[in-house]
Structure 1
Amino acid sequence: MGALPAFILTGLIAIAGGTAALAGATDVTVGFVAFGAYLGPHVAFAGGVAAAGYACKTKKLGSGTDILSSLYGTGDPMTLLVGGIFGLAGMLIYQFFAAINLPSDWPGTTVVILAVITRLMFGSTGLTGKYEGEGRREYFTGGKGFFCNVVLGLGIGAAVGFVSAQMLNVGTDPALMRSFPIVCFGIAAASLIFTQTGFACPATHHIAYPAACAAVWSGNPVMGVIFGILGAVVGDFILKTFNSHCDTHIDPPATTIMILMFAVTILFA
């Protein structure tokens, strides 16, 4: 179905499972469906990214950065098999990270690793792309765009941070609040359905998820604001550095989550 459509489904299941767990129900859909072998980003999204890279290299897709198109539409069994092989590799890498208890986000880190492998195997632009424009290459969005990113991160970070504080103030069990970041992630991921359908909706899961984790794990909503802004700024840098002027997709949100969740885990877990 393509990388982004699969990820949108991940978000929908994360909302359902995370909300159930937040309400005190026993939930297994988050671990086994949303972040498991069914729709886990390290399986479904990463597999879709690899399949797109392969399909472009074999002239069956216009761009290896196309994460919106269904790879079934290529009519090529090998494209589907490449996606499946990378999905299997994603599950194995994830299990390894779980075994060593990697101090970061396991699905996000796996997505990054497989995206780099995809670029090296099927791309030709190198990890940072091939800039062929005039003037100096931009590594951050400048002008009003930079401030838009800061405002976006500030707004989402404040929302998740202070909503988490309100929930604790009304007596929500702190143990149940561990599911709150999953709900925030799910809402952000599901909102990409608007991107899929052609609207200028930004990716925000790399902002909402680390911000919510920072706020909940630290017990301080201000940390949500700080990590919200960091998510927006770091994500912009990753986009400009690794996912511009290139021919395969290295996911800026997953890379940002990998970096920030390492910091959040070290500081607050």
Structure 2
Amino acid sequence: MLIVAIAVITALGGGAFGASIGALPAFAFCGFMVIAGAVATAIGLEGASTSLYVAAFGPLFGPHVAFAGGAAAHAYAAKYHPELQEQDGWGYHPAKNILIPTGTNPKVLAVGAVFGAGGQLLKMGTDFVTGTQMSLGFAHIAWVIVLSAFVHRAAFGYSLVGDRQEVARRVGSTVGGTSWLSFDLDEAEPHLPWQFNWGEVLFIGGLVGLISGYITIITQSPWVMFGISAATLLFLCNNYGLRPDTDRSGTPVTHHITLPASVAAHAVFFQMQSTPVNPLVYATFWALIFGVAGAFFRELTERLFYAWGDTHLDPPSFSITITVILLVLLSNLGIIGAPNAYQSITFHPY
């Protein structure tokens, strides 16, 4: 119980941290910590690498704490302290603006703290119930982020899945498209307007998946590319490339691609005793497949839960939840890696 209490108290600070600097900057910070951990591992500083991974994925800077707490704080601030969420050029509902800091408002920080602690409790509870802390660790983090978003929508009076009529009114359009999944850029609030066309989405998924597989094999780490992807989100935080009211400018968002692709490549190349073809080719093939899958599920879930909503319900986390579960299922079937191959991937959840 002591470790639970310590983790929850720490998560209060982590959630407030995410609220104060902004949810996306907090996530980018996690990426830099992951990169530092990978470098520490590469040069043999195992103690240091463990500490850095604990910091990156644990109750202080873990995305289920700092990012989820920050997203909840943004949703609260947009409704009760709208001046904190105002930004020139932001074309969406202000609650979706997770790029900016909310500052030092005690109530907003308290919301971040509460949701941060709640995220840590949910993460630890999921680990305990499933007994798969190592193999499904990142799926646990990702699904807690998704669940936390549904909770903050309900808690602060937002629609759980969104309102097409309201969003259309907000963007100055009639409700277009034939369904929640089919619409034009100017008819809704898509997650990444520059990463919206299905062909482009799947192409980026395949390309980044291949790169992730290669980097994973040469570094022997499934976390390097995820860390790089998360860190590059700092460009969005500085308004460098994020223009939600335009359709052709923006820094690519890829952590939902790099993570499953890297884990797939790692499991195949380092865990399988034999492969149908050359191990490098087979590992790269599965990195490609899961890169495309990661991109596909992000776009699918953003069209279902983000584009018509008022707050940030994170499509990349939705995608990671799905793809990591698929990875583990395929691993346990012996299709990718040996059964329970993910148990050998070093992951320090707290």
Q: Which amino acid aligns with 2:237?
A: Q
Match of 2:152 in 1: 118
Asked whether the equivalents of residues 13 and 29 of structure 1 are also in contact (C-alpha less than 8 Å), the reply is no
Tell me the residue number matched to 2:318: 255
Q: TM-score, normalised by structure 1?
A: 0.88
Q: CA deviation at 1:71?
A: 1.4
- By relative contact order (CA 8 Å, sep 6+), the higher-ranking structure is 1
CA–CA distance in structure 1, aligned partners of residues 183 and 321 of structure 2: 21
In structure 2, what is the Cα distance between the partners aligned to 1:140 and 1:14? 36
Which residue in 2 is equivalent to 1:244?
Answer: 307
What are the equivalent positions in structure 2 for 1:92-171 lying under 5 Å apart? 92-99=121-128, 100-102=130-132, 104=136, 105-127=139-161, 129-132=162-165, 133-137=175-179, 139=181, 145-165=197-217, 167=218
- Residue ranges of structure 2 left out of the alignment (5+ in a row): 1-20, 87-93, 166-174, 186-195, 242-249, 270-282, 332-340, 342-350
Question: 1:93-146: CA deviations, max 9, x gaps?
Answer: 11112223346322112111111111111242222x111223423526889921
CA contact (8 A) 1:140 1:237 kept: no
Partner residue, 1:80 = 109
Give, in angstroms, the shift of residue 161 of structure 1: 1.4
- Does the CA contact (< 8 Å) of 1:239 and 1:252 recur in 2? yes
Alignment partner of 1:214 is 2:264: yes
Q: Who wins on radius of gyration, i.e. which is larger?
A: 2
- Structure 1 partner of 2:101: 70
Look up the match of 1:57.
79
CA distance in 2, matches of 1:190, 1:31: 15
> Which residue identity lines up with residue 88 of structure 1 in the other structure?
A
CA distance in 2: counterparts of 1:118 and 1:139, whole angstroms: 24
Residues matched between the structures, number: 255
Instruction: Say if 1:89 and 1:222 are closer, same or farther in 2 by CA, change over 3 A.
Output: same
* Partner of residue 89, structure 1: 118
Q: CA RMSD in A?
A: 2.0
Alignment of 1:30-49 (within 5 A): 30-49=52-71
* Closer/same/farther in 2, CA of residues 59 and 118 from structure 1, 3 Å limit: same
2 CA distance for matches of 1:141 and 1:257? 24
Encode CA deviations 1:215-238: one digit per residue, 9 max, x unaligned. Answer: 111222210000001111111111
Q: Quick check: 1:231 aligned with 2:294?
A: yes
Which one of 222, 243, 248 corresponds to residue 181 of structure 1? 222
Give, in whole Å, the separation in 2 of the partners of 1:81 and 1:152: 38
Conserved in 2, the CA contact under 8 Å of 1:157 and 1:224? yes
1:178-216: CA deviation from partner (whole Å, max 9, x where unpaired): xx2211110000011111222101211000001100111
Give the match's secondary structure for 1:34. helix
Q: State how far apart, in whole Å, the 2-side matches of 1:123 and 1:203 are.
A: 29
